[in-house]
């Protein structure tokens, strides 16, 4: 069944973490009612052109959605259910930070309709939390994880590794502690130094390729032994506990993004070209977005028709991140042509022979070795 997601971006944080390149802003007092009304108005606007989709997931991301009032979350979810049909296993995820959440608030979110929490723990080591600019301690992170487990059947914990100087044995011991707190899902990201961040300005070094590879393998082995296989490069889950919303992105399905800087992908048709897709981007600055919505113009910055090559690259790039790979039937439904007719046969054979890709009856997937060097594999396959 086709999946369709709605992403809601709450762009505000208590402070800016030095590694963060998300569209997040530190703001003083907010007019939350004005923000709630703006989200509702945008949902109304998008519903007109996406009525034929059944919503399978909603994701409150940020920024720090745990700073939102539960009433705002409830109003958004009620409006979504009033405007669209939703699937029976409708997933509603909210991101939360330990420094801006507590059990009462988790309960209020659950009452509002959130059924999955993604908790930004980032580390269980106080020194690392200070380095990462986080506002919580390891004790507060553990407390938040336990409260999440008391309130939500489904929750994910997020961590960052490959910090400067982090050894495999230190990370291994932290992973053992992480597993003791985990339920069905863990997101484990390597620290990357992105342009525009404070770490980039401070020339914080990223882990070398060799160290990153050892840490990546360590992570994968420990997670696999614990039954939380890597279903995506940085995401691990028990079978059936995968994040359905993020699968929408990786599988190339359609979604809308509501809120400052949010992105969307919707199908369209171009004369003589059949199926095509539009990339939609919302206005990035929070106040500019809010004012555009309040003026009645809507919060969209631009809509760009993706060329065939761009869409092909996007579907391959996202699909090969997944352990399951790219399913041929889904690809054809979304692209309008069979995958194997779009790829250079020689390049495909070369990468398969060298053990970076594997072709099943219904799928093309990157092997574990291929996923570890995915950028190089993609460059060799589609450039």
Judged by CB, which is closer to ligand SF4: 286, or 325?
Answer: 286
Judged by CB under 6 A, does residue 8 bind ligand SF4? Answer: no
Judged by CB under 6 A, does residue 259 bind ligand SF4? Answer: no
* CB crowding 64-82: b at 16 or more within 10 Å, else e: bbbbbbbebbbbbbebbee
Least distance (Å) between residue 95 CB and ligand SF4: 8
Total of chain residues touching ligand SF4, rule CB under 6 A: 11
Judged by CB under 6 A, does residue 144 bind ligand SF4? Answer: no
Judged by CB under 6 A, does residue 22 bind ligand SF4? Answer: yes
Least distance (Å) between residue 36 CB and ligand SF4: 20
- 175 to 194, contacts with ligand SF4 by CB under 6 A? none
Q: How far apart are CA 25 and CA 8, in angstroms?
A: 15
- 100 to 119, contacts with ligand SF4 by CB under 6 A? none
Q: Which of 314, 331, 327 has its CA nearest to residue 359?
A: 327
Judged by CB, which is closer to ligand SF4: 13, or 247?
Answer: 13
Judged by CB under 6 A, does residue 24 bind ligand SF4? Answer: yes
Least distance (Å) between residue 24 CB and ligand SF4: 4
Judged by CB, which is closer to ligand SF4: 21, or 324?
Answer: 21
Least distance (Å) between residue 64 CB and ligand SF4: 5
Least distance (Å) between residue 134 CB and ligand SF4: 7
Least distance (Å) between residue 196 CB and ligand SF4: 12
Q: How far apart are CA 8 and CA 116, in angstroms?
A: 15
- 54 to 83, contacts with ligand SF4 by CB under 6 A? 62-64
Least distance (Å) between residue 25 CB and ligand SF4: 9
Least distance (Å) between residue 348 CB and ligand SF4: 38
Least distance (Å) between residue 190 CB and ligand SF4: 15
Instruction: Report the half-sphere exposure of 160 (CA within 13 A, side-chain side).
Output: 20
Judged by CB under 6 A, does residue 286 bind ligand SF4? Answer: no
Judged by CB, which is closer to ligand SF4: 97, or 156?
Answer: 97
Q: How far apart are CA 78 and CA 68, in angstroms?
A: 16
Tokens read off for 100: 């801006």
Judged by CB, which is closer to ligand SF4: 133, or 267?
Answer: 133
Q: How far apart are CA 84 and CA 51, in angstroms?
A: 6
State phi, psi for 348 to the nearest 5 degrees: -60, -45
Judged by CB under 6 A, does residue 283 bind ligand SF4? Answer: no
Judged by CB under 6 A, does residue 16 bind ligand SF4? Answer: yes
User: Where along the sequence are the contacts to ligand SF4 (CB under 6 A)?
Assistant: 13, 16-17, 20, 22, 24, 62-64, 97, 120
């Amino acid at each position: 069944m086709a999946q369709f997601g709605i992403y809601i971006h709450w762009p505000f944080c208590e402070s800016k973490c030095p590694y963060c390149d998300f569209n997040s802003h530190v703001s003083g007092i907010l007019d939350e009612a004005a923000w709630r009304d703006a989200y509702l108005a945008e949902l109304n606007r998008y519903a007109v052109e996406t009525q034929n989709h059944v919503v399978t997931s909603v994701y409150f991301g940020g920024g720090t959605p745990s700073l939102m009032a539960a009433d705002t979350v409830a109003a958004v979810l009620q409006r979504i259910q009033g405007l669209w049909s939703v699937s029976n296993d409708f997933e509603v995820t909210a991101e939360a930070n330990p420094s801006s959440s507590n059990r009462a608030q988790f309960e209020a979110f659950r009452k509002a309709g959130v059924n999955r929490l993604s908790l930004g723990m980032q580390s269980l080591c106080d020194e690392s939390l200070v380095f990462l600019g986080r506002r919580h301690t390891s004790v507060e992170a553990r407390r938040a994880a336990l409260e999440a487990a008391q309130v939500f059947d489904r929750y994910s914990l997020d961590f960052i590794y490959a910090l400067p100087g982090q050894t495999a044995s230190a990370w291994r011991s932290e992973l053992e502690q992480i597993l003791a707190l985990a339920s069905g899902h863990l997101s484990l990201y390597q620290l990357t130094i992105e342009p525009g961040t404070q770490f980039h300005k401070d020339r914080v070094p990223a882990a070398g390729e060799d160290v990153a590879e050892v840490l990546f393998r360590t992570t994968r082995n420990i997670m696999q032994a614990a039954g939380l296989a890597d279903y995506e490069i940085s995401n691990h889950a028990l079978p059936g506990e995968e994040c359905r919303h993020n699968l929408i992105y990786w599988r190339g399905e359609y979604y809308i993004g509501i809120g400052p800087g949010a992105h969307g992908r919707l199908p369209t048709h171009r004369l003589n070209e059949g199926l095509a897709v539009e990339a939609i981007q919302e206005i990035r600055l929070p106040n500019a977005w809010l004012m555009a919505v309040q003026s009645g113009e809507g919060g969209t910055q631009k809509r760009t028709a993706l060329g065939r090559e761009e869409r092909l690259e996007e579907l391959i790039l996202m699909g090969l991140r997944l352990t399951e790979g790219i399913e041929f039937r889904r690809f054809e439904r979304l692209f309008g042509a069979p995958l194997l007719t779009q790829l250079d046969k020689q390049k495909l054979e070369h990468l398969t022979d060298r053990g970076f890709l594997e072709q099943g009856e219904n799928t093309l997937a990157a092997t574990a070795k291929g996923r570890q060097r995915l950028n190089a594999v993609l460059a060799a396959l589609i450039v």
